[in-house]
Amino acid sequence: MSWLNLGTRLDNQIDAALRRACGVSNNQVLIVRIAGDSSPVVTGSRGGHFTKGGARIDHPSAYSRRGWNNMVYECDTRVITVGAGFRVN
């Protein structure tokens, strides 16, 4: 294993621990590091399938009848902002 691979693996483990600490299970959520040692803050909303009225749909296939569709997909807009000096325990 090269040193570059080791550094990448450690960065991925730190990012995973930070996401777990914030209660985010999606590894596609962006982590933005800012100056300082501020604690992590999650902004944005979780994406998924919703009705046009705004209620979350857990099983989108149940709403996919031909000719009738009350379903809207919204992208995940969550971002974790954390200080570069913050350490996850």
Domain boundaries, the chain: 3-83
Check if the beta carbon of residue 39 is closer than 8 Å to that of residue 32: no
Say if residue 42 is exposed, middle or buried (CB neighbours under 10 Å; 0-12, 13-18, 19+). middle
Q: What is the mean pLDDT of residues 46-61?
A: 87
Calculate the average pLDDT of the chain: 86
What pLDDT score was predicted for residue 42? Answer: 95
Q: What is the pLDDT of residue 65?
A: 67
pLDDT greater than 80 at residue 31: yes
Check whether 30 has a pLDDT greater than 80: yes
pLDDT for the residue numbered 27: 83
